[in-house]
Structure 1
């Protein structure tokens, strides 16, 4: 079965399908405000030290071949800080 046969079988017009694809390309990609806010919160004075602590832990753990240490607590501390910051600002940006 060819592509044309499939389109005819599904009662679809190949030209309409091409037009729909063109419309999708013309639409602007919506940006999630949470991503933008999270990035700024991650660099804030409150969360930056926690991110640095997490990054240092990652480097330390990755530099060792055998270790039982992981950076779970550092990650949780950083994410908690970032999420708290985001929650204060996010709903002001939503419609």
Structure 2
């Protein structure tokens, strides 16, 4: 289930980051970018790569938040231990299949 959720987060974020990269760099020239008033000493390809990973990270955070908010109360509150090994403060309801 964890692998499936990671794909729910990573794959849509990857697609949105790719589209965002195309839109942003259709209007912005990486050679004209400045960081705190001084020009960036990076190649265009480096700027494209770094921007893509920043866009991907931000959109993954958004997808992760959506996935977290979509979890049922049972998934959030269930105890991760088998019934016989649960500590006293662990939830009594639900199983850990």
- The TM-score, its normalising length taken from structure 2, stands at 0.36
- The TM-score, its normalising length taken from structure 1, stands at 0.36
Which protein has the bigger helix share?
Answer: 1
Work out which of the two has the higher radius of gyration on C-alpha atoms and give 1 or 2: 1
Which protein has the bigger strand share?
Answer: 2
